[in-house]
Structure 1
């Protein structure tokens, strides 16, 4: 099994969750750039946001403690325009276990949502409604909770996360009435509208189907047959190349490559040279900004 899986999985650095439904989520709020004498509000944010993610029941399924989806939301606050109003960015990361091993793999990594703008006051109630807009911070957290769960379910069953991507899409629709940045198609190149639109776009369905093949059929079977696993992943990359040819600026494809690039280098750093060469050539084409990293695939 590629040792990179262990390295990547350890990046999250979780503590065990004492309360959770489906998620074991850690929310971290970085407020170094905010000038205020009362820092308690940021501690309260972390507590409230973490409890919201972990205590909300997002599915109708029952999760054992060890089955809960481990994830992390890093909120980097940039400014406080007025009391109770905050602007910043956020990074979201989630992992899943690789079966037959002690490793974990990152299955969703969104480096930086550039438009986290919300109102929050200490001890503010937070309640999720799948059909109504209640506040921007609830919508932000709920959107990514559903994306995380949808992605996780997709890795265990082909398009198994459909209902959660549908829920995320409904959150986008509801939040557009609030006129906050990040929920509309033309709010920059990186926004939540474009992300969920890609996941639900029929022309990009191979991306979600590939997530199942990559994780369940390849990584989960890697210990038993690494050569077969490599071939399956090459097949996934071939389908992603078609998506790149059709939609080279797809945000979902870019997110997948952000999530998997280091792991792919490790997976193909040894083994069948034919598979390694094909993976290398495709990755150089669809992710040229990481060309120096992908050269390592053929360096051994």
Structure 2
């Protein structure tokens, strides 16, 4: 580390220590005034973030790590920037707004340095150091936000997929999976895992896959269904497919897809009746019309 950089770092560190509360207050006001948040954060939350980041900056400047490597190498500072970015990602802020919020700390820091020196050269060197330091912090916050947001979206997507493929117990030893929407490879895997686990947990002997809500069946969808059926059979259970509507039946016939080894029915009610017979249980009771007066 050069002597000039050490001097500038000391000057900036003195400003942080002497005017810590003032810098934090100024940074909070800047974010509120400039609308750089991109999310509804209260003044208390912003002040808490400011205190943590300013303390981490002070610890980093007090270390022997060069400024160019400070954000990447100093553990406390890096962790603080990452946590700030992830917290704002979860709150719904944009990556641009998050990085701009970090960068707006420059103005608050330089205003504090101005109060500690009248030397224009020192002030210029401090501005260069602050820009170098907070540009790296802004870039890290942007990168962290994008990675964290992708993780959040993927987790939410997985949760929605699991919610959209429930396994329902219809009868003793009979389960059903009502499918709605497109059946792709990822969703087939979720359906298969959930269904096989439910078969084991419920000691099911028949699984009904209802495709009434599947808009179209092509070769890929048929292959996904066959894989699921084969997996169910390996668990020692029978499989019934319901929801074979006339258009789907025509498509399957035109594509030459062979479902002859699978028991199929047009309605879930018919599939349930067949499933009950397969389990050698009493027949499903047929609802009767209410008696007249």
Place the TM-score, normalised by the shorter chain, in its bin: under 0.3
TM-score w.r.t. length of structure 2: 0.24
* Higher CA-based Rg: 2
Query: Which is strand-richer, 1 or 2?
Result: 1
The two structures have a TM-score, normalised by structure 1, of 0.24
**Which structure's residues are more often helix, by fraction?**
2
